[in-house]
A and B are shown apart, each in its own frame.
Chain A
Amino acid sequence: MKHIILCIVIISIVSCSEKEEGFTLEIGEDFVDSNTKVYFIDTLTVNASTFQFDSLIVSNAKRLLIGTYQDPIFGKAMSKSYIRLENDTYDIEDEAVYDSIALILKYDTYFYNDTIPLQQYSVYKLIENIEPDEFEYYNTTDFEYENTPIAIKNFYPKPNKEDSLNIEVLDTFGEELFNKIKDDEINDDFEFQEEYYGLAIEANENNTSVLGFTKESLLRMYYTIEEEEEIIEKTIDFTIDPINTFNQTTSDQTGTYFETIIDQETILPSSETDDSCFIQAGLGIVVRIDIPYVKALNDIPGDGVVIDAKLKFPLKQNTYTDQLHIKDSIRAFVIDKNVFVVDNLTTSNGIAVGIIENENTEFETEHYVLDVKSFIILKQNETHDVFYLAIYPENFTDSLDRYIFNGDQVADDLRIKLELTYAIYND
């Protein structure tokens, strides 16, 4: 009796841990249907256009960006750097003798456009303190400087071969600074920056390239001390205050599509710009993507969910070269109709990054593929606000890179297109 009951207990316990291991589970495959209906949709309207942000926040720029280039489509783009200098010690021995002063700009290997012709930089002394405009520096911020440069440098850039560009500065500037320190008129950053607001480094408007320099660039003063028949060479380095150093970008868009831009609410549809849309980093020219009929998805009967949404951006053929190079990723802001940036475009893994792909070997075009699923879901639930995407490239605030994309009207394989996978899980 007891044993029988025990048996039952054991059987029961065994029955609890029963698993269907070792069995195949294919029967029923034809008999059971998936309850899910999946649609692949690549016919949703995508309107591509171009606009220009009124200004970009360029605080904490990662490089000094100096140069100019002329482009047949974008016009002339220019960037100059405003730098504030600082130092740890202001100590020069009484017997020291001034030698020379130079601005040493350290290449960070970034260049854009043609670096072969002779380039010219001018360095000016600021006559205004560098101050942020309500906590931020914008690409449109500028400060006044003297009319006469304290240095002019003509050079052939070697951003990948040389470490730095050495710009000799006028001795009148150097000696004055030397004496003020030696005579203890300047003893700390405060006293230094009260008299020396900083420097502006500007490219000649006929330059053909834009170059990047690190913020480890410095102003170096050389002097000597004579000690027992031996002359000792010494230096003082004024380094860059990374917070109060930024790049100002300007352009001359006369005769280009962008000439008509009044402010950031001026939209240039790709149909009116040779079926193209444009990005120019640094100047805030970006592509605006409008997907107006996302709500049509809600007309599919049943409850649905966006499985995948990829936006494909084909680069216009033959518009980029080794000199006018492109980066391999793009990103996007979600903006409203007043071009207010609402958010970054994100995925479940963080900020969405569109990666370049080369798919169409026949035409040798490259395109970026951006995951816009979160944006499609946002558009599905849109009420009175209307949202758009503003597409921008890597180095958006630290370069003058430009991109030309096909618009929304070109041949099927080559146009900006949305590829959507949508599933109805409940009829």
Chain B
Amino acid sequence: MLFTMTNKTFFYTILVVLIGQLNFAQTNNLSSSPYSIYGLGASNEINPGKTNALGKTGIAMPFDNSINNLNPAAFSNIPENGFYFDIGVKAEKETLFEDGKEEARFNANFSNMAIAFPITKKSGVGITLIPFTNVGYVVLGVETEIDGSTDTFISNIDGSGGLNDIKLNYGYSINKNLRLGVSGSFLWGKITENETDLIEENLLFISEENYYNGFRLGAGFQYIIKDMFSFGSIINFPTKLKGEQTVLVAVNNSATINIEDDLDAFKLPLEVGFGTHFKLNENLFFNIDYRRNFWDATNQSDLIGDYVDQDFFGIGTEFIPKKNGFKYWERINYRAGFNFDNGNLAINNNRVNNFALNIGVGLPLKSGGNSLLNFGYSYGQKGQVNNGLIKENYHLVTFNFSLAGKWFEKRYID
């Protein structure tokens, strides 16, 4: 056996992994937000491990029995012989508000897959596969005037897909207090937009498939100022994602045009983040993170909005009643957090703000082991109703199955 799990567990894990991979490859329909029509879609904030219930914070948080994808430096202190595996699913129910109208949306899917293990006592690596952006919108009955006539035509528009991020993290401990890390992401994916126009008795169908891919480098450090207080920082460098487009145009179900073309590269901005981690004692810590994406400098705009610098702020806490307690409830991790960001898009000079309150628990899966089922719940709000924007209230549930195993350790014979 590779690591200490029962054969059945291993089998189920593989099954889950396989299904997960299929989902990443096929559906990608992870969002139902009309805002995902812009750019490459709605950014994903869901990560492996425990950060989802911690206000999405963890820049300064060390590796602590679950994979922390927010800073590559955190991969440097993975326990020796440890092998960590994380798989997550999420479900989201949204309520959209616009001009007195109210509609519900629901979506559910895989949210991540990750592994991490140490290389030496001082260094470790991890690979995470997470969505980078999500596109998922359906709009029916858009009415547009026909130029040169008093008639209108009706459009149904839907979009799906998004970009995936496969990220290699490497962390190295310089000494007891300073950890460094670098990361490299390969971002790729397909965004599909279909539009069906009913023009008098004719049907015009336009299907655009936009393929993007590119690399992005990042770096980070974590520094323990005092035992109880750590500081961390990350940087993700700007990059360009090159794009290709395939357009299929069909009039009355007979395909007339099929074009392949290069798209303008999509520019990802410089991202800089700072975080602090207060560890009051073995049972309680707090995280505070701030990140900024310098979208202004990319000089990009979308159909009705410009990209603007985005600020992200988050705070989170975790409490464990008694880490190695005998009673199950004593070993449960209790988490809470709050996160806010002002969005990267200004629509008619109105920003699409987003905030969420989160709570969560980490349920130990086996006494004495470090595997956890991390459950997070967020209630959030995005946008506002005035000025023609849409407000989204969302309930988001995440499950992260964080498995901790050991490399190269033979099982004792019973």
> Measuring CB to CB, which residues of chain A are less than 8 angstroms from any residue of chain B?
1-2, 4-6, 8-9, 11-16, 18, 20, 23-42, 303, 305-308, 348, 377, 421, 423, 425-426
| B8 touches A (CB below 8 Å) | yes
Q: Kindly state the separation between the CA atoms of A308 and B203 in the bound complex, as whole angstroms.
A: 10
Of residues 106 to 142 in B, which have CB atoms within 8 Å of A's CB atoms?
106-110, 137-142
Asked whether A11 and B197 contact (CB < 8 A) given A29-B142, A36-B204, A39-B147, the answer is: no
Contact A308 B199 (CB under 8 A): yes
Of residues 171 to 202 in B, which have CB atoms within 8 Å of A's CB atoms?
193, 195, 197, 199-200, 202
Contact B195 A34 (CB under 8 A): yes
9 additional contacts (CB under 8 A) given A9-B12, A9-B15, A30-B388: A2-B9, A12-B89, A25-B138, A26-B140, A27-B97, A29-B143, A35-B206, A39-B147, A40-B148
Asked whether A15 and B147 contact (CB < 8 A) given A30-B388, A32-B139, the answer is: no
Contact among A27, A37, A423, A425 for B103, CB-based, below 8 A:
A27
Query: B8 — which chain A residues lie within 8 A by C-beta?
Result: 2
Q: Kindly state the separation between the CA atoms of A1 and B193 in the bound complex, as whole angstroms.
A: 42
Query: A24 — which chain B residues lie within 8 A by C-beta?
Result: 103
In the assembled complex, the CB of A16 is this many whole angstroms from the nearest CB of chain B, namely 6
Contact B254 A4 (CB under 8 A): no
Contact among A8, A25, A39, A425 for B206, CB-based, below 8 A:
A425
Of residues 251 to 277 in B, which have CB atoms within 8 Å of A's CB atoms?
251-252, 254, 256-257, 259
Query: A28 — which chain B residues lie within 8 A by C-beta?
Result: 34, 37, 96, 98, 137, 139, 390
Contact B388 A31 (CB under 8 A): yes
| B225 touches A (CB below 8 Å) | no
In the assembled complex, the CB of A84 is this many whole angstroms from the nearest CB of chain B, namely 46
> Which residue of chain A is the closest to B206 with respect to CB atoms?
A425
Of residues 209 to 266 in B, which have CB atoms within 8 Å of A's CB atoms?
247, 249, 251-252, 254, 256-257, 259
> Which residue of chain B is the closest to A24 with respect to CB atoms?
B103
Contact B109 A15 (CB under 8 A): yes
Q: Kindly state the separation between the CA atoms of A88 and B3 in the bound complex, as whole angstroms.
A: 96
Query: B284 — which chain A residues lie within 8 A by C-beta?
Result: none
What are 19 A-B contacts defined by CB distance under 8 Å?
A1-B365, A8-B401, A9-B15, A15-B89, A16-B109, A20-B138, A30-B98, A33-B303, A34-B144, A35-B195, A36-B144, A36-B195, A38-B199, A39-B147, A305-B256, A308-B200, A348-B252, A425-B204, A425-B206
Query: A20 — which chain B residues lie within 8 A by C-beta?
Result: 32, 105-107, 138
Contact B157 A32 (CB under 8 A): yes
> Which residue of chain B is the closest to A35 with respect to CB atoms?
B195
In the assembled complex, the CB of B64 is this many whole angstroms from the nearest CB of chain A, namely 21
Query: B140 — which chain A residues lie within 8 A by C-beta?
Result: 25-26, 29
Of residues 66 to 113 in B, which have CB atoms within 8 Å of A's CB atoms?
87, 89, 91, 96-99, 101, 103-110
Contact B23 A16 (CB under 8 A): yes
In the assembled complex, the CB of B250 is this many whole angstroms from the nearest CB of chain A, namely 9
Contact A5 B195 (CB under 8 A): no
Contact A421 B101 (CB under 8 A): no
> Which residue of chain A is the closest to B254 with respect to CB atoms?
A348
Contact among B13, B37, B247 for A5, CB-based, below 8 A:
B13
> Which residue of chain A is the closest to B26 with respect to CB atoms?
A16
In the assembled complex, the CB of A244 is this many whole angstroms from the nearest CB of chain B, namely 42
Q: Quick one: CB contact mask for B134-178 with A, threshold 8 Å, 1 for yes?
A: 000111111110111101010101000000000000000000000
Contact A421 B257 (CB under 8 A): no
> Which residue of chain A is the closest to B95 with respect to CB atoms?
A27
Q: Kindly state the separation between the CA atoms of A35 and B247 in the bound complex, as whole angstroms.
A: 13
Contact A34 B157 (CB under 8 A): yes
In the assembled complex, the CB of B223 is this many whole angstroms from the nearest CB of chain A, namely 37
Query: B139 — which chain A residues lie within 8 A by C-beta?
Result: 25-29, 31-32
Query: B247 — which chain A residues lie within 8 A by C-beta?
Result: 303, 425-426
> Which residue of chain B is the closest to A420 with respect to CB atoms?
B148
In the assembled complex, the CB of A32 is this many whole angstroms from the nearest CB of chain B, namely 5
Contact A15 B108 (CB under 8 A): yes
In the assembled complex, the CB of A125 is this many whole angstroms from the nearest CB of chain B, namely 56
Query: B257 — which chain A residues lie within 8 A by C-beta?
Result: 303, 305
Q: Quick one: CB contact mask for B1-19 with A, threshold 8 Å, 1 for yes?
A: 0000000110011011001
Q: Kindly state the separation between the CA atoms of A39 and B200 in the bound complex, as whole angstroms.
A: 12
State the main secondary structure of chain B at its contact with A. strand
Contact B366 A1 (CB under 8 A): yes
Contact A5 B142 (CB under 8 A): no
Q: Kindly state the separation between the CA atoms of A14 and B257 in the bound complex, as whole angstroms.
A: 37
Query: A31 — which chain B residues lie within 8 A by C-beta?
Result: 34, 98, 139, 388-390
Query: A421 — which chain B residues lie within 8 A by C-beta?
Result: 146, 199-200, 202
Closest 9 CB pairs of A and B: A40-B149, A28-B34, A15-B108, A34-B155, A40-B148, A28-B139, A5-B12, A27-B96, A39-B147
> Which residue of chain A is the closest to B304 with respect to CB atoms?
A33
Contact A40 B98 (CB under 8 A): no
| B361 touches A (CB below 8 Å) | no
In the assembled complex, the CB of A21 is this many whole angstroms from the nearest CB of chain B, namely 10
Contact B16 A307 (CB under 8 A): no
Contact B103 A5 (CB under 8 A): no
Query: A38 — which chain B residues lie within 8 A by C-beta?
Result: 144, 146-147, 153, 197, 199
Contact among A13, A29, A305 for B204, CB-based, below 8 A:
A305
* Most chain B beta-carbon contacts within 10 A, residue among A5, A6, A39, A426: A5
Asked whether A27 and B98 contact (CB < 8 A) given A36-B204, A308-B199, the answer is: yes
* Most chain A beta-carbon contacts within 10 A, residue among B103, B139, B388: B139
Contact B204 A307 (CB under 8 A): yes
Asked whether A37 and B147 contact (CB < 8 A) given A26-B140, A28-B139, the answer is: yes
Query: B87 — which chain A residues lie within 8 A by C-beta?
Result: 8
Q: Kindly state the separation between the CA atoms of A8 and B110 in the bound complex, as whole angstroms.
A: 10
In the assembled complex, the CB of B319 is this many whole angstroms from the nearest CB of chain A, namely 23
Query: A16 — which chain B residues lie within 8 A by C-beta?
Result: 19, 22-23, 27, 109
Query: A11 — which chain B residues lie within 8 A by C-beta?
Result: 89, 91, 108, 399
Query: B15 — which chain A residues lie within 8 A by C-beta?
Result: 9
Q: Kindly state the separation between the CA atoms of A5 and B13 in the bound complex, as whole angstroms.
A: 8
Q: Kindly state the separation between the CA atoms of A26 and B304 in the bound complex, as whole angstroms.
A: 19
